[in-house]
Amino acid sequence: MQTILILGAGKSSTYLIDFLADSCANSERKLIVADLDLALAKSKLKTRINCQAEQLDSSDLSKRRNLIASSDVVISMLPAFMHPDVARDCLELGKHFFSASYESEEMRQMKSDIEAKGLFFLNECGLDPGIDHMSAMKIIHAAKAKGETILTFKSYCGGLLAPESEDNPWKYKFTWNPRNVVLAGQGTSRYIEKGDLKYVPYHQLFKRLDTISFLGLGDFDGYPNRDSLSYRQVYGLDNIPTMIRGTLRRAGFCKAWDVFIQLGMTDDSFQMEMPEKTTLRQFLNAFLPFHEELTIEEKLTDLIQDLDFPTFEKIQWLGFFENRLLPKTKGTPAQLLQAILEKDWELQPEDRDMIVMQHLFEIEAENEVKKITSSLVTFGQDSVYTAMAKTVGLPLAIAVDLFLKKEIRLTGLHVPVLPEIYEPILSELEKSGIQFEEKVQIE
């Protein structure tokens, strides 16, 4: 019997668990879902046969290794910093490893040992990274097969709200790890545009925007995401003049979020200790200059020179000008801000989320340049069966299923940029409604 172990039963695991649990009904498979919250793991499995839930504190090395030792394939849905530890366990115990997270340098250091043991380790097989790689590589490989030259590749993705659930001025709620959202973009982003290398420090990131449009949905802000340059080699585009990977938010979001950055509210490097019963208004004032006469609103307007009304409205809607109690008084500024946002940006049971992704190519072919716009829009069902969970979990589940069926026969350390991996996964995703629409314009 083939045994699959999923470590972590959080929000993004719903479709992953459903798909693999269902696959155990009519096959020689067993699924184990291990989570700190045993009740949660049991609720995700329901009453399916050949499935069991286990309580696991992921820092419990002995139990974690025992579970891995009893499995054939391990899927880590734990926080990203834990993947290398789980991967090392898998390497030592001779088990195959899958994750939706970025391939880390620690993982790359295991490459030769993974190959020597004939194991298959697949990372970046979720949404972004994941579906973005696979859908882009399909276009890139098709162009190269025709001898065409790719001049521009821009790729943007965002986890947002379906239009009917955009019931606040930010048009945003948490569909992913709130901490990751609050800390997004910290560090320096890198990309290349028309041959010019660009480095964008954090304090400039949410000002450096592209406008990305989707038919029927309108405009979105796209900002550079991490290190676009490293993917030139991964995608086989070493000499491409323009390459940008980015994140999408609704138009206007980035300008308002930049206010928090300028104030220092997203700083995660020092601890604050505010008095008990501190209000949101007082918390905001802690980041503003002292003035004998000016109100907090006036001080904020003086400090943030381009503070327009839509931006002011977004800050106001979160309650920063009110005497609402600060939900958390000790922690880093980023942690205190997160505590505020978790109340106001909580996804409600009836809310539907939305995934939007768009690739923009300029390709030189036979003395003409064609522009390809490849767009994905996927909606969630509710706050449990979200589009985020679907697009993160299904590619991973399908990859594991194909591997166990021996339809993927690779070994070594991989991300899904090879046709052997992405072609069957994209084909299966289309059956679940995750499908790109392409438009080609000739110049």
pLDDT tens digits along 338-365: 999 999 999 999 999 999 999 999 999 8
- What's the rounded mean pLDDT across residues 170-199? 93
In a 10 Å sphere around its CB, with 0-12 CB exposed, 13-18 middle and 19+ buried, how is residue 402 labelled? middle
CA-to-CA separations, 397 to 80, 158, 412, 428, in angstroms, rounded: 18, 21, 19, 11
pLDDT tops 90 at residue 177: no
**pLDDT at position 314 over 80:** yes
Q: Do 351 and 161 form a contact (C-beta atoms < 8 A)? A: yes
Please say if the pLDDT value at position 58 is more than 90.
Answer: no
50 vs 87: CA distance, rounded Å: 25
For residue 59, the model assigns a pLDDT of 86
Domains of the chain: 2-123 (3.40.50.720), 131-256+349-386+438-442 (3.30.360.10), 257-344 (1.10.1870.10)
Q: What is the mean pLDDT of the chain?
A: 95
What pLDDT score was predicted for residue 176? 80
Confidence at residue 335, expressed as pLDDT on a 0 to 100 scale: 97
pLDDT digits (tens, 9 = 90+) for 72-89: 999 999 988 999 999 999
The per-residue pLDDT for range 398-428, each reduced to its tens digit, is 999 999 999 999 999 999 999 999 999 999 9
* CA–CA gap between residue 386 and residue 33 (Å, rounded): 20
In angstroms, the CA 382 to CA 92 distance is 40
Q: Is residue 14 pLDDT above 90, yes or no? A: yes
Q: Are strands 120-122 and 96-99 parallel, antiparallel or unpaired?
A: parallel
Percent of the chain clearing pLDDT 70 (strictly above): 100
Residue-wise pLDDT for 243-293, tens only, equals 999 999 999 999 999 999 999 999 999 999 999 999 999 999 999 999 988
| pTM given for the model | 0.91
> Of 85, 73, 62, 60, which is closest to residue 32 (Cα–Cα)?
73
Query: Rounded to whole angstroms, how far apart are CA atoms 221 and 209?
Result: 6
Whether residue 27 has pLDDT greater than 80: no
Q: What is the mean pLDDT of residues 41-52?
A: 93
3-state helix/strand/coil string of the chain: CEEEEEECCCHHHHHHHHHHHHHCCCCCEEEEEEECCHHHHHHHHCCCCCEEEEECCCCCHHHHHHHHHCCCEEEECCCHHHHHHHHHHHHHHCCEEEECCCCCHHHHCCHHHHHHCCCEEECCCEECCEHHHHHHHHHHHHHHHCCCEEEEEEEEEEEEECHHHCCCCCCCCCCCCHHHHHCCCCCEEEEEECCEEEEEEHHHHCCCCEEEEECCCEEEEEEECCECCHHHHHCCCCCCCEEEEEEEEECCHHHHHHHHHHHCCCCCCCCEECCCCCEHHHHHHCCCCCCCCCCHHHHHHHHCCCCCHHHHHHHHHCCCCCCCECCCCEECHHHHHHHHHHHHCCCCCCCCEEEEEEEEEEEEECCEEEEEEEEEEEECCCCCCCHHHHHHHHHHHHHHHHHHCCCCCCCEEECCCCHHHHHHHHHHHHHCCCCCEEEEEEC
Distance CA 64, CA 70 (A): 10
Query: Helix 253-263 vs helix 296-303: angle between axes, to the nearest 10 degrees?
Result: 100
pLDDT value of residue 442: 87
303 pLDDT exceeds 90? yes
Specify the pLDDT at position 357: 98
- Tokens 């109690």 identify what position? 325
Q: What are the Cα distances from residue 162, in Å, to 63, 72, 175, 353, 373?
A: 41, 38, 11, 5, 21
Q: Shortest CA distance to 160 belongs to which of 130, 127, 208, 137?
A: 127
Given this model, what pLDDT does residue 300 score? 95
Query: Is pLDDT of 109 > 90?
Result: yes
- Do residues 395 and 388 make contact, with C-beta atoms less than 8 angstroms apart? no
